């Protein structure tokens, strides 16, 4: 799947410290158990070579972000969020397609992620990109909140 921009001025670029307030607002809006400000701040101030924090930016507005890690040939999508106001315009697809391109450039051959069993919009997004369920983690998001593990292999990465 080619990376198509849903909006003309949208860019995919590394998250900066100056993006943090907008990112935290989105994180708090999107998740019941959000990542902390401290975690984001430390990750940006002391980046790890295998971890990537990227935003979809339209001028000064952060329209979503994605966090992923690539270690040897294995990659993991750790976080993806688009604020409610901007959903349904292809920004999630743009973030995921852009991240998969970067993962391929960093020699990632397999990509994994966890998604709540109840989170159907995200599961539809991942399925479009060739991700398939390869496991289940019981109580991953808390009591009775299971997660599916989704996997996308090298063949599907090459085909995107």
Work out how close the CB of 96 gets to ligand COA at its nearest, in angstroms, rounded to a whole number.
Answer: 8
Residues numbered 34-73 forming contacts with ligand COA, rule: CB under 6 A:
none
Q: How far apart are CA 69 and CA 118, in angstroms?
A: 24
Kindly state whether residue 135 participates in binding ligand COA, applying the rule CB under 6 A: no
Residue of 65, 86, 114, 141 marked active site: 114
Q: In degrees to the nearest 10, what's the CA dihedral of 31, 143, 113, 123?
A: -70
Nearest alpha-carbon partner for 62 in 4, 121, 10, 102? 10
Kindly state whether residue 121 participates in binding ligand COA, applying the rule CB under 6 A: yes
Kindly state whether residue 87 participates in binding ligand COA, applying the rule CB under 6 A: yes
Which residue lies nearer to ligand COA by CB, 21 or 128? 128
Cβ atoms within 10 Å, residue 108 = 23
Q: Identify the sign of the CA torsion 117, 120, 121, 125.
A: positive
Kindly state whether residue 93 participates in binding ligand COA, applying the rule CB under 6 A: yes
Classify residue 152 by its DSSP letter.
Answer: E
Residues numbered 100-119 forming contacts with ligand COA, rule: CB under 6 A:
115, 119
Chain contacts with ligand COA (rule: CB under 6 A): 30, 80-82, 87-93, 115, 119-122, 124-125, 128
């Amino acid at each position: 799947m080619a990376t198509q921009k849903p909006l003309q001025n949208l860019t995919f670029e590394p998250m900066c410290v100056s993006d943090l307030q907008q990112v935290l607002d989105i994180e708090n809006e999107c998740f019941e158990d959000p990542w902390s400000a401290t975690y984001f701040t430390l990750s940006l101030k002391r980046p790890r070579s295998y971890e990537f924090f990227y935003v979809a930016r339209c001028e000064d507005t952060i329209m979503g972000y994605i966090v992923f890690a690539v270690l040897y040939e294995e990659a993991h999508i750790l976080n993806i969020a688009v604020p409610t106001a901007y959903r349904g315009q292809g920004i999630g697809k743009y973030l995921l397609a852009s991240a998969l391109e970067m993962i391929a450039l960093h020699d990632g051959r397999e990509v994994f992620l966890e998604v709540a069993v109840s989170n159907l919009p995200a599961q539809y997004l991942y399925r479009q990109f060739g991700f398939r369920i390869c496991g289940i983690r019981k109580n991953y998001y808390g009591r009775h909140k299971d997660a599916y593990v989704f996997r996308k292999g090298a063949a599907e990465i090459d085909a995107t």
